[in-house]
């Protein structure tokens, strides 16, 4: 029912400079696997095998990663190193990959709008690979969200409770509680101050979007920095119909900053086999 998953990977990754000067943030490895592979794995587990990337200048390493390197494969054929490519080989075998470039970095909303030609008119998932989500005891976060989409048939956004001193970094939502982990959204504010925040429920980098989001993104005004905010479009969608926020089961690490990246590395080193 949902097959496409969009990965906006065009950002500059300035919080990881200088590493990201000539290398995509999404290629930074947690142990020995790049962040992007965790995200694509999660999508594939959820049955999303049509992978669409919104890339930009300096992101070619991502395209090469999801392709076969014949010379390397030949070099390690028959050695015990071959097994280390099993995970990525499976992904390459089971997924198709499409790429389009976001020419100007005009925010997440604009990156998603750039994906319109790849997505078309069907509902689709969005994964921000720098939010690493792991559910050690069950289904991955995207699998949980696809199940919820089948029930509600509207836009689903993943949320989590964040500490007060972190609220100003997120889109923050409030709404009518439908189950202890599900809200029907009626308020959404991007990066609010603590006083403005309608709750401590922050949007994280997992979405299932209905395709009317594109028309809304085409119509909304850019913010003061010239960026199209996805949160503004989601708020319009919530006003027009229904947006469900879901408190997912599992852990999320904000690998877009060094602290979260180190926490994710430590967690995976102790708990998850990375290959």
Minimum Å gap between C-beta 22 and ligand UTP is: 15
Among 5, 54, 62, 201, the residue binding ligand UTP under the rule CB under 6 A is 54
Minimum Å gap between C-beta 82 and ligand UTP is: 31
Residue 12 lies near ligand UTP (rule: CB under 6 A): yes
- Nearest position to ligand UTP, beta carbon: 11
Residues 141-200 that bind ligand UTP (CB under 6 A): none
Minimum Å gap between C-beta 23 and ligand UTP is: 13
Pick between residue 128 and residue 243 the one whose CB is nearest to ligand UTP: 128
Q: Phi first, then psi: give them for residue 175, nearest 5 degrees.
A: 180, -170
Residue 39 lies near ligand UTP (rule: CB under 6 A): no
Among 2, 5, 25, 248, the residue binding ligand UTP under the rule CB under 6 A is 25
CA 134, CA 42: separation in Å to the nearest integer?
Answer: 9
CA 102, CA 91: separation in Å to the nearest integer?
Answer: 24
Residue 111 lies near ligand UTP (rule: CB under 6 A): yes
Q: How many CB atoms lie within 10 A of CB 244?
A: 23
CA 190, CA 209: separation in Å to the nearest integer?
Answer: 18
- At 44, list the tokens: 């594939």
> Residues 6 or more apart from 142 whose CB is under 8 A from it?
5, 42, 43, 45, 46, 48, 125, 127, 133, 206
Size of the site for ligand UTP (CB under 6 A): 20
For the four alpha carbons of 266, 270, 273 and 275, in that order, the dihedral sign comes to positive
Residues 73-102 that bind ligand UTP (CB under 6 A): 102
| Residue ranges binding ligand UTP (CB under 6 A) | 8-15, 25, 54, 102, 105-108, 110-111, 128, 130, 256
């Amino acid at each position: 029912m949902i097959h496409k998953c969009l990965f906006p990977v065009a950002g500059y990754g300035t919080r990881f400079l200088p590493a990201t000067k000539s290398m995509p943030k999404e290629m930074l490895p947690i142990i020995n696997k790049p962040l992007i592979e965790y995200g694509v794995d999660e999508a594939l587990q959820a049955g999303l095998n049509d992978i669409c990337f919104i890339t930009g200048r300096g992101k070619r390493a991502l395209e090469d990663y999801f392709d076969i390197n014949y010379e390397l494969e030949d070099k390690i054929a028959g050695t015990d190193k071959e097994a280390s490519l099993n995970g990525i080989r499976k992904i390459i075998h089971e997924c198709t990959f499409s790429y389009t470039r976001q020419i100007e970095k005009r925010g997440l909303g604009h990156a998603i709008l750039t994906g319109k030609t790849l997505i078309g008119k069907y509902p689709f998932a969005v994964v921000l690979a720098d939010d690493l989500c792991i559910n050690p005891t069950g289904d991955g976060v995207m699998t949980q969200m696809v199940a919820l989409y089948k029930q509600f048939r509207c836009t689903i956004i993943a949320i989590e409770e964040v500490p007060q001193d972190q609220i100003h970094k997120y889109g923050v939502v409030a709404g009518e509680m439908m189950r202890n982990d599900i809200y029907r959204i009626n308020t959404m504010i991007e990066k609010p101050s603590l006083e403005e925040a309608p709750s401590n429920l922050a949007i994280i980098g997992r979405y299932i979007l209905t395709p009317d989001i594109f028309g809304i993104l085409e119509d909304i005004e850019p913010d003061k920095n010239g960026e199209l905010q996805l949160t503004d479009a989601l708020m319009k969608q919530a006003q027009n119909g229904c947006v469900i926020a879901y408190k997912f089961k599992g852990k999320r690490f904000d690998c877009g900053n060094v602290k979260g990246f180190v926490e994710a590395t430590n967690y995976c080193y102790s708990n998850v086999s990375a290959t």
